[in-house]
Each structure stands twice: as structure tokens, then as C-alpha cells.
Amino acid sequence: MNAEPTSALPDFLAPVFAQYPLPVVSADGVWLATRDGRRVLDLYGGHAVAALGYGHPGWTLALRTQAQRLSFQSNAVPLEVRTRAAQRLIRFSALDFNSVFFVNSGAEANENALKMAFNLTHRSQVAAVQHSFHGRTAATGAITWGAAAKWYGYPRTPFDVAFIARDDLEDVARQVTPATAAVIVEPVQGVGGAYDLRKDFLQALHERCREVGALLIFDEVQCGMGRTGAPFAASLYGIQPDMITTAKALGNGFPCAALLMTPRVAAALKLDALGTTFGGGPMACACIEAVIQAIESEDLLAQVRRVSTLIRSRCLVGPVIAAQGAGFLLGLRTARPAKEVHAALLERDILAGTSGDPAILRLLPPFILEDEHVDLLRRALLDIGS
Ligand code: PLP
């Protein structure tokens, strides 16, 4: 392990992120190594990013090979690796999509999805769901629940937004109207507390969108790319949205995101309708291919489903009283503040996550997590006690 040099200099980083007491210097599989020699089990995966864990051989080789072959060319140049990544992603989704627009971040994917909906419907209102998180840009902050009070930071929102109460079927008809351009929803909410929305609620959103001519956008930035144990939560729920946005696990740490569009949405695309410099870069696309290749060849969706069930059956102990979410977007409800349990786990060399719900500890582990790691979590929770 290469220890990074310590420095007495200030780090000059904008002080906007609270820091865990966890000086990570390297990682392997599901384990983080710290400067002070600890090995920490990573059940958080860098905010749901490290789907294949750390140092995955296929992903590492793909990135290195692509870096040596061709590190970058813009979208004005046709690249086989870009086409292959798009084809592979659409095949992986097993849904009715025929067009992919690659970008760099989850928020950017959502921005472009909204843009498509405004252009297609010639309407200017959006409906989102309470407790949603869709990003920090002007448009995605506007559709994020509670952003105005917390961190929105812009003088006004760029369009009108209605928020639908979670799982409230009657509120769907109230908030989604003939003026609505799009409904955007995380089928399993991430920041909102690993909250799996009810199937009948998502179906009601789908039906209401059809009724009023609005587009349905599934934000699967966090819950997509296999995290629920299905390629996308859309297939888990049996719903075909008009667009899916995805990021995080998509590149396993190489920054990238994608907007998937149905043939109807894609038909509205024109030259220069959307744009990006870095989106669809060859290294990102090589990583996307490698992620899908690993998920498929290592049967990781089945592993997510199996180990998730194991966590639910073995880890409702100590401070944990219930579980919610899906696959490896799991919310463990704690009898005392999740923050305290998070800190106690970290003292026992396990990194979990918290969420917008103060009683929910969020687990977003790499898909390669095994039974033995679940045992470690169980033992730590028992040790913490209720
Ligand atoms: N949408 C969801 C569901 C997210 O969880 C996030 C980030 O946490 C975003 C969008 C924004 O993604 P990014 O931080 O890549 O812009």
C-alpha cells in the first residue's frame, strides 16, 4: 500500500463537505485502507458509485487500455466505443429505449430529461415527489424537496414545481395536471431514506402521465444500474417510463451519466438540441461497457438480490428495528438517531451512510458484497446494542 505524504499545508479545498474521520489511501474489493492502518468495510460505496468495488480487474483493464488507445475525442467524431456503450446500455435495460445521450453527472442527465419534456409538450410545469433528491443545479434543485430552505441558492426557480405526497394516490391527480410537462421520480428514493415507493403509486403516476400527456421520468441516478437487483427499478416495478436518467454505478467511479429515451421521445431530437463536451468520452464509455460486462458475466444482479435478502433477515438486530428500500439501496430504521449508529459502526471499522431521514441508516454497498460481510455487520450491530 502506498501511503500518501502528509502535509502541514492547508488543503485549499472549499469547506463544504463534513469530513468522516477516515483518511482513505487505497481500497481493494469492499475494503478501504486508511493512512493509520485500518481496514474498513465499505457499505456505502462512495455514495452508491463503487458498484464493482475497488480494483475490479475488468474495469481497471478497460480504463487503462482505453487511456492508452484513445483518451478523448468529442461527440463530433464517431467512436466505436461510444456506440458500443450505448448499445450495451440499452440492451442491459431490457426496456423500450432506443436512444442514449451521455453526460457527466446525475444532475446533468436530469436537466436534459427536463429539457426534452419541455420541448415535447410545450408546457412549463413539473411534478416531483416529496423527499426527492435530483441534484444541485438550478433546474434539479428546483425539483428537489426542501431545497429552497436548505441550499437552493438561486433567487428563483426556473419553472413551477408541484410536489406529490409519497404514496398518496389522490394527490397524484391533484398535482399532475394538463399543464404538467413531466413527472420526475426516483422509484426508490435515495437521499430521502432508501424509500421504496409503492408500486400502485408509481403505476398511478404512469397512468396519470398518459391521461394528461405528461412525460414520466425515472431518476435512477442512485437506484439504477443493478442496484435494486434488477437492471433498472423500472423493470422491478414493471413500468416503462418515457426517460430514465442514470449515473453513479454506471462508471464505477469514472464520472459519467446517461439519459435513456423511448423511440417517441427520441423522435423529437434534432441536431444541436442537446450538447456536452465531456459526455460520451471514450474512457467513460469503456468504463460503462466494463461495468455492464462485469454485472452480466459475474451474475451480480442475483448476488445483490440474495445478499440484500440476507441483510434484511440477519441485520434487524441491535439498534436496527426495520428495513426498507430494495436490493443494495437499503434503509435500516434505527431506534436511535442513525447518525449515532453510523458513528458507532465506523468505530467498528464499518462505513455506512445516513440519509435525509434521521432514523434511517443507508447501505449502498458494492454489488460484490458477500455473506461474510453481512456477518460482520450483524456482529457490529449486536455489539452496539439497542
Ligand atoms: N438524482 C439522484 C437520485 C441522486 O441521488 C443524485 C446524487 O446523489 C443526483 C440525482 C445528482 O447526481 P450528481 O451528484 O451526479 O449530479
CATH of the domain at 321: 3.90.1150.10
Neighbours of 116 (CB within 10 A): 25
Domain presence at residue 310: yes
Residue 37 has pLDDT above 90, yes or no: yes
In one-letter notation, the amino acid at residue 107 is: A
When pLDDT is cut at 50, 70 and 90, the band that residue 2 belongs to is: very low
CA of 133 to the centre of ligand 1 (A): 7
User: Given 263, 297, 331, which residue is the final one in a domain?
Assistant: 297
Q: Examine the domain organization and report whether 284 and 375 are in the same domain.
A: no
For the Cβ of 356 lying below 6 angstroms from any atom of ligand 1, the answer is: no
Last residue of a domain, one of 264, 282, 297: 297
Q: Are 266 and 99 in contact (CB under 8 A)?
A: yes
Query: Within this chain, do residues 219 and 331 fall inside the same structural domain, yes or no?
Result: no
Kindly state whether residues 86 and 19 are assigned to the same domain. Answer: no
Q: What is the dihedral of CA 364, 369, 371, 374, to 10 degrees?
A: -30
* Percentage with pLDDT > 70 across the chain: 97
258 and 304 assigned to the same domain: no
| Centroid of ligand 1 to alpha carbon of 167 (angstroms) | 21
Residues 376 and 262 in one domain: no
Residue tagged 467512436 (cell numbers) = 79
153 vs 249: CA distance, rounded Å: 28
Residue 364 has what DSSP assignment?
Answer: -
C-beta 191 within 6 A of ligand 1: yes
Whether residue 63 sits in one domain with residue 125: yes
Predicted pLDDT of residue 154: 87
Contact partners, residue 32, CB within 8 Å, separation at least 6: 22, 24, 26, 39, 40, 41, 42, 54, 351
- Once rounded to an integer, what is the mean pLDDT over residues 334-349? 98
pLDDT-derived band of residue 1, with 50, 70 and 90 as boundaries? very low
Interval 75-120: pLDDT, tens: 999 999 999 999 999 999 999 999 999 999 999 999 999 999 999 9
Task: Classify residue 1: in a domain, yes or no.
Answer: no
The CATH number linked to 182 is 3.40.640.10
Q: How many domains would you assign to the chain?
A: 2
Q: Judge if 192 and 73 occupy the same domain.
A: yes
| CA-closest candidate to residue 246, choices 218, 276, 285, 267 | 218
- What is the model's pLDDT at position 156? 87
Mean pLDDT of the chain: 96
- Average pLDDT on 132-141 reads 95
Structural domain that includes position 92: 57-297
Question: 148-162, 253-267, 351-365: which range is least confident on average?
Answer: 148-162
Assess whether 171 and 196 both reside in one domain.
yes
Q: Over the stretch 309-334, which tens digit does the pLDDT of each residue have?
A: 999 999 999 999 999 999 999 999 99
Amino acid at 349: D
Are 346 and 22 in contact by the 8 Å Cβ rule? The answer is yes
pLDDT band at 3 (very low <50, low <70, confident <90, very high): very low
- Asked whether the predicted pLDDT for residue 257 surpasses 90, the reply is yes
Integer Cα distance of 101 and 275 in angstroms: 9
Query: Looking at residues 349-360, what average pLDDT do you find?
Result: 97
Burial class (CB in 10 A: 0-12, 13-18, 19+), 151: exposed
Residue-wise pLDDT for 41-64, tens only, equals 999 999 999 999 999 999 999 999
Cα 74 to ligand 1 centre (Å): 24
pLDDT at 309: 98
- Ligand 1 atom closest to the Cα of residue 223 is 3
Q: Is residue 270 located within the same domain as residue 360?
A: no
Q: What is the mean pLDDT of residues 256-285?
A: 97
d(CA 365, CA 194): 13
pTM, 2 dp: 0.97
Report residue 8 as a C-alpha cell.
502541514
Based on the domain organization, do 23 and 167 belong to the same domain? no
